[in-house]
Amino acid sequence: MGEAVLGRSIWQLTGKDVLAFLQGLVSNDVLPLAQSPGIVWAALLTPQGKYLADFFVIRRPDAPEGEILLDLPEALSANVIKRLQMYKLRADVQIAPSSLQVQRGLDPAPATALPDPRHQDLGWRLYSDSTGAPPAIDWDALRVELMVPEYPADLVPDESYILEMGFERLNGVSFRKGCYVGQEVTARMKHKTELKKGLVRLSITGTAAAGTPITIADGREAGRLGTVSGGQALAHARFDRLSDTLLADMAKLAADKLAK
């Protein structure tokens, strides 16, 4: 049995236009799900290209015909579903809450589980009626080691840009699909600019909470602290200030790895 994934909201989408509808909205290519079961990680962006939410789009191996699931942070679900209802207009798309639960694990996967698309070392996800076992694996530590950001510690609605947060490396954006909301800004960041800030992994001595500003010795801001686990942390930071002494409240930080 896998472990329960807390704080998630599962929604069921049905109707002949579901995948085409999502294709025009989200950062990744979901059309392969029309051909076979699978799981896609994608983001919903503002027209200005800023992050609103991220979620998994799933076609289960054992799903009823035409069913697509969305697995998203519970705290973002009301806003996401409201936007989807607004965008769908006359499309043949029905959106309803699902009673299914999500589990994850690192051991051999059950027959109907799907691999986490962000990184092979994040194991598998399973959607079923079972709630799963209480969490025992330190998933935050694993994410920090693999440099995988999550809402709310790392991904901030109306603020984060997905290319700065590693979505290309983590299979969360496609540059070969057609237009979607925020696509123009995202493509311009990819092809016409060099990122000057983004996701980094830091070593940390002392304690500081996610969201704490990171400063250099003279008080200028270098970034924002994200997920903290043990002696490591994720952060969104300016690359040109990572060689300085870094502080977050009373904690001392040092650059470990960039995720360009």
Same domain flag for 85 and 43: yes
CATH of the domain at 227: 2.40.30.160
Is the pLDDT confidence value at 240 over 70?
yes
Question: What are the tens digits of pLDDT across the range 183-227?
Answer: 999 999 999 889 999 999 999 999 999 999 999 989 999 999 999
Same domain flag for 25 and 123: yes
Choose the final residue of a domain: 117, 136, 155.
136
Q: Is residue 40 part of a domain?
A: yes
Q: What is the pTM of this model?
A: 0.96
Same domain flag for 174 and 120: no
8 Å CB contact between 216 and 228: no
Is the pLDDT confidence value at 259 over 80?
no
Residue environment code for 208-226, b if the CB has 16+ CB neighbours within 10 A, otherwise e: bebebebbbeeeeebbbbb
Q: Which DSSP string corresponds to 166-187? A: TTTTTT---SSS---TTHHHHH
Same domain flag for 38 and 159: no
172 φ, ψ to 5°?
Answer: -110, 5
pLDDT bin (cut points 50, 70, 90) of residue 55 is: very high
Segments forming the whole domain that contains residue 216: 146-258
CATH of the domain at 42: 3.30.70.1400
| Token pair listed for 173 | 């954006």
State the total domains in the chain. Answer: 2
Is the pLDDT confidence value at 258 over 70?
no
